[in-house]
Amino acid sequence: MGKIIAIANQKGGVGKTTTSINLAAGLAVLEKKVLLIDADPQANTTSGLGFDTKAIAGATIYECLIGESDAHRAVLETEIKDLKLIPSHIDLVGAEIEMLQTPNREKVLKNVLSRIAPEYDYLLIDCSPSLGLITVNALTAADSVIIPVQCEFYALEGLGKLLNTIKIVQTRLNTNLAIEGFLLTMYDARLRLANQIVDEVRRHFPNMVFQTIIQRNVKLSESPSYGKPVILYDAASVGSNNYLNLAKEVIYNNESPR
Ligand SMILES: Nc1ncnc2c1ncn2[C@@H]1O[C@H](COP(=O)(O)OP(=O)(O)OP(=O)(O)O)[C@@H](O)[C@H]1O
Ligand SMILES: [Mg+2]
């Protein structure tokens, strides 16, 4: 059974999508079978992997969630052999409302993925910047959650609310949900503030912060417009190295005997 990891933070622009794409690519390059699920109506993961979101002919996560498609039918191949994608579509905004009528509406994604998860080693879910029903579905389907935290002044803002949501999901919907780790993103070593944030987050969440820190790197922001993970766009870049290290850390944390 593949490990399902949600990438979540209701704060916008903290690096969820960048982490989803590049961690997934890193894991796939390290020969893990990876399924990336775009669960954000913005569909940035889908376009960041080179798909024209308006031109996807087959099913997307939306059709899967409303029960019109099996997950297998929505899977797309990517440039990396072991990296597959279930794309998103702007229609997904409507799914939150359509799913309100569904029995067990928080568990729809869990059921969708249960049929396909055994075929992969890792399934990553890129969440939207909200704590709405689809994000709750992602947290309910997941074994663990990665929380990207941007190294900026208000880094810790909003984390209380996110952790509270995680706690509610753990109590009512998914007792197994673990925090895989907080991931510091967009770190700029030239800024003293960035170092203060790193210290503060580590102090606040001891032993819960990934050792790997994602630096601010222009290649990471350029690569989506070329429809590629950074490792295919510039393998020698700092961003590519950072995400490969994160992939190794995730594999180590999950697969090395304790
Ligand atoms: N380490 C980085 N270095 C440079 N730019 C980055 C880095 N991480 C993310 N970015 C850029 O910052 C912006 C926001 O990142 P991203 O889209 O990954 O955040 P997000 O949390 O998914 O946003 P949203 O909440 O809208 O889904 C993007 O333009 C992205 O290219
Ligand atoms: Mg995003």
Residue 36 pLDDT = 98
Question: What is the number of the ligand closest to the CA of 239?
Answer: 1
Task: Let me know if residue 257 belongs to a domain.
Answer: no
User: Which CATH number characterizes residue 202's domain?
Assistant: 3.40.50.300
Dist CA 33 CA 122 (whole Å): 6
Q: Does a structural domain hold residue 253?
A: no
pLDDT score of 157: 87
> What is the spatial distance between Cα 112 and Cα 173, in angstroms, rounded to a whole number?
16
Q: Which atom of ligand 1 is nearest to the CA of 127?
A: 27
Question: Is 254 inside a domain boundary?
Answer: no
What pLDDT was estimated at residue 186? 97
Q: Which residues share a beta bridge with 147?
A: 182
* pLDDT value, residue 154: 86
Provide the token pair at 126: 């890129």
> What is the number of domains present in the chain?
1
Is 73 inside a domain boundary? yes
CA-nearest residue for atom 5, ligand 1, is 221
Distance CA 229, CA 213 (A): 18
Pocket test for ligand 1, best of 7, 10, 18 (most atoms within 8 A of CB): 18
Q: What are phi and psi of 211, to 5 degrees?
A: -65, -35
Q: Is 7 in the pocket of ligand 1 (CB under 6 A)?
A: no
54-64 burial, b at 16+ Cβ within 10 Å, e below that, comes to: eebeebbbbbb
Backbone angles phi, psi at 235, to 5 degrees: -65, -25
Domain that holds residue 72: 3-246
Quote the ligand 1 centre to 221 CA distance (angstroms).
Answer: 7
Tally the residues of the chain. 258
The pLDDT of residue 257: 74
Rg over CA atoms, the chain: 17
Distance CA 102, CA 187 (A): 42
Structure tokens at 156: 């810790």
Helices (H), 30-107: 44-48, 61-65, 71-74, 92-98
Q: Kindly state whether residue 252 falls inside one of the protein's structural domains.
A: no
Residue 239 lies in a domain: yes
pLDDT at residue 101, as a whole number = 87
pLDDT, residue 258, reads 66
Q: Report pLDDT for 156.
A: 87
pLDDT at 1: 84
Question: Which residues are CB-neighbours of 14 under 8 A, at least 6 positions away?
Answer: 148, 149, 150, 185, 186
Check: CB of residue 212 under 8 Å from CB of residue 205: no
At 176 the pLDDT is: 96
Query: Could you tell me if the CB of 216 is within 6 A of ligand 1?
Result: yes
CB of 15 within 6 A of ligand 1: the answer is yes
| pLDDT class of 72 with cuts at 50, 70, 90 | very high
Task: Calculate how far, in angstroms, residue 117's C-alpha sits from the geometric centre of ligand 1.
Answer: 27
pLDDT at 221 over 80: yes
Q: What is the pLDDT of residues 1-55, one digit of tens each?
A: 899 999 999 999 999 999 999 999 999 999 999 999 999 999 999 999 999 999 9
255 within domain boundaries = no
Flag whether 251 is in a domain.
Answer: no
Q: Exposure pattern of 10-25 as b/e (b: 16+ CB <10 Å)?
A: bbeebbbbbbbbbbbb
pLDDT tens-digit readout, 98-157: 998 889 999 999 999 999 999 999 999 999 999 999 999 999 999 999 999 999 888 888
- Count Cα neighbours of 28 within 13 Å in the Cβ-side half-sphere: 24
The pLDDT value given to residue 42: 96
- Of 44, 46, 219, 249, the C-alpha closest to 129 is 44
Are residues 182 and 208 in contact, defined by beta-carbon separation less than 8 angstroms? yes
Measured in Å, residue 13 CA sits from the centre of ligand 2 at 7
Helix ranges (DSSP H) in 173-229 = 192-204, 218-222
State the residue for tokens 């067990």: 104
197 alpha carbon – ligand 1 mean position (Å): 18
Summarize pLDDT for 179-200 with one digit per residue, the tens.
999 999 999 988 989 999 999 9
What atom of ligand 1 comes closest to residue 185's alpha carbon? 1
